[in-house]
Amino acid sequence: TEVGLLAQQRFPGGVDCTPEHHYDYAPALAATQAAVAAGASVIYEAAFQHDGVLAALDILVRDGDGWIAVEVKSSTRVKEQFVEDAALQYHVITASGVALNAMHVMVIDTSYLRQGAVDVQRLFKLEDVTGQVRAMQPEVQARIAELKAVVQAEAEPVVGIGAHCDTPYACDFKGHCWAHIPAKGSVLELTNAREKQWELYARGIVLMKDIPAEEPLYTSQSRQVDGWRYDRSIVEGERIRAWLGELRYPLHHFDFETVMPAVPLFDGTRPYQQLPFQYSLHVQTTPGAEPTHREFLGDASGDPREALVQQLLQDIGPEGDLLAYNASFERACLRGLARDLPQHAPALLALAERVKDLETPFKKGWYYVPAMNGQSSIKAVLPALVPALSYADLEVQEGMMASLRFAQLLRGEYTGDMEQLRRDLLAYCKMDTLAMVKVLGVLEGV
């Protein structure tokens, strides 16, 4: 990865032991042994094996008569699971005969501000976890023995499902162990209720419709359960109409797409900073009017923000509200642009004050249908209210894919048809704001 390669520059001149084929670690093990024996000062992707357990390490740095192990993460902080991983690496490496003086986890430093070429000394920060991983060694050895027993057993372990199935990551066997859980309507879909879900399941309640009527639930949860139990919808017309009456026209249905690169791409930006590169606008002059469409997509030749803001300020006039879905995101983007482009700050901050949230009637429960299944996101609301409008036929179907593809364009890594990708990105963002027009139309019909 880009982060991994830059991390190697922090310790330059290393011997690369990366296996040619993923999971084919025999050559990597041999290359690592050879590099250690030859007196290498730095080794990349070092591989070690002890008693049937394999460990691969991002960077191994010679330190006097011993070594310092460095594991690289694209995270901005050292998480508990990173330390657990490091403890296993420490066990395997030291047991294979390599003396480790220290174990470090290297993460991204969000305080780094890029100016000129990427400064790998400031992009990363090292955290010494040596004391923690040494203290965990008895636990690591016991865990290895336990897992070996599981692998060698003739029958699968009898372990009930629970929160551990997704902690810290989703288990590969979840589809097998969860086969008895219905795809829809289980208590494990109860909204905002992680502990409550498992409490109900432990009592033998699998379906939401079987939750006792006297069970204490939040209002949003009761809406969801009643939807399954009674197929009950909620339409609070008076509140919806009052909210609609406060919208000021021309109404600008508005959506940003952003990239959040771990490694800053442009001067004046930080790791994981939100950088808007695209927007879509559907503008209605009056309630129910046929919308006109406007859009922007950066050309990927450099920082797109100045050109985006210039066109945005032309496309949105001084009158009318901006309507976004989960509007806190669009407000944050506008305020971030105002911070980074101070010459446009007054106009951008004025736009941020005009943003209203289309999610409000759904989040507050004024409009609810069972198909929403307790959710108020556009991905839940659109198919429930406007099933004919679907992202299924689009090549780009969600924001993460749009962000990934544009980041590839910016870094010159995209190998497909660039013009087709631009068309796909424009079609996706246009669908986002068209969906808002259609959802608003449903609300106007109550």
Give pLDDT tens digits for 330-368.
999 999 999 999 999 999 999 999 999 999 999 999 999
Q: Which amino acid belongs to residue 71?
A: E
pLDDT at 225: 95
| Interval 165-219: pLDDT, tens | 999 999 999 999 999 999 999 999 999 888 999 999 999 999 999 999 999 999 9
% of the chain surpassing 90 pLDDT = 95
pLDDT of residue 1: 82
> What fold characterizes domain 233-446?
Nucleotidyltransferase; domain 5 (3.30.420)
**How far is C-alpha 113 from the geometric centre of its chain's CA atoms?**
22
Whether the pTM exceeds 0.85: the reply is yes
Q: How many other C-beta atoms are found inside a 10 Å radius of the C-beta of residue 190?
A: 23
Q: Which residues pair with 355 in a beta bridge?
A: 322
Residue 137 and residue 94: Cα distance in Å, rounded? 11
Residue 300 is predicted with a pLDDT of 87
Q: What sign does the CA torsion over 178, 184, 188, 194 have? A: positive
Interval 21-68: pLDDT, tens = 888 899 999 999 999 999 999 999 999 999 999 999 999 999 999 999
Quick one: pLDDT at residue 227?
Answer: 93
Q: Is 24 exposed, middle or buried (0-12, 13-18, 19+ CB in 10 A)?
A: exposed
Whole-number mean pLDDT of the chain?
96
pLDDT at 24: 85
For 374-383, what is each residue's pLDDT tens digit?
999 998 999 9
Q: Does domain 2-142 have CATH number 3.40.1350?
A: yes
